[in-house]
Structure 1
Amino acid sequence: MTGDPGLQPERTQLAWRRTLLTLTGVTVLLVRLALAGDQADAALAGLAVLGWLGALALTWRRATGTGPRRAQRWSFPLMALIAAGLALLSVVLVARGQR
């Protein structure tokens, strides 16, 4: 039994917003962790902020429906790539802080 198909776009939009909120929290923590480090840590935090900005742009395009329709099919793999990149940056920053 499926729900009302008219609600599917709203559920999808809410999922994208939750993902962006999670990535925002991760990015804030990465920047905070990098503040205690050196210039290399600051560069990694800069990459994290760039990744977050990319996720923000993807979420904005999905929410507003702007941009070419064919570009939207790439939004999910790009968001997954950004999330994996932020996870990798998190591991690198934590590992650098352990030494």
Structure 2
Amino acid sequence: MGGTEEREAAVRDPGLQPERTRMAWRRTTLSCAVAVVLAWRQVLLTGEPTATEVVLVALLVLGGLAFLTAAHLRMRALAAPVTAGPPQTMRTRTALLATACTLLLVGLGAAITL
């Protein structure tokens, strides 16, 4: 009898948690994309964009793409089959990449609006 209980415990019932987490990552990447578009709009509304502003927007785009990569890595880790056990914890490099991209987007966004 103990073997049956162990097998049942090994099959996880994740409920909706992985789906909610994937949706949260998607919303966050969408908000990053909106921030990049709004920053580019801000640069265009100020008149003729300077070389510095163009470089800042290009860095924003690269930061947004890097964040999208981090989000994709996390969503792929969460997409493991239910029978594979609990999802992997977030890797340190993915967490560092997401944090660095967020700080980069905040810093560059603030620099553009000044």
- TM-score scaled by structure 2? 0.67
Residues 15 and 70 (structure 1 numbering): CA distance in 2 closer, same or farther, change over 3 Å? Answer: closer
Deviations 1:27-86 (A, max 9, x none): 1111222234211100000000000110111112222239xx787333233212211211
Give the alignment of 1:1-99 within 5 angstroms: 5-35=14-44, 36=47, 37-65=49-77, 72-95=91-114
Structure 2, unaligned runs of 5 or more: 1-12, 80-87
Structure 1, unaligned runs of 5 or more: none
May I ask how many residue pairs the two structures share in their alignment? 90
CA positional deviation for 1:17? 0.8
Q: Which has the larger radius of gyration?
A: 2
Partners of 2:104 and 2:41 in 1: how far apart? 17
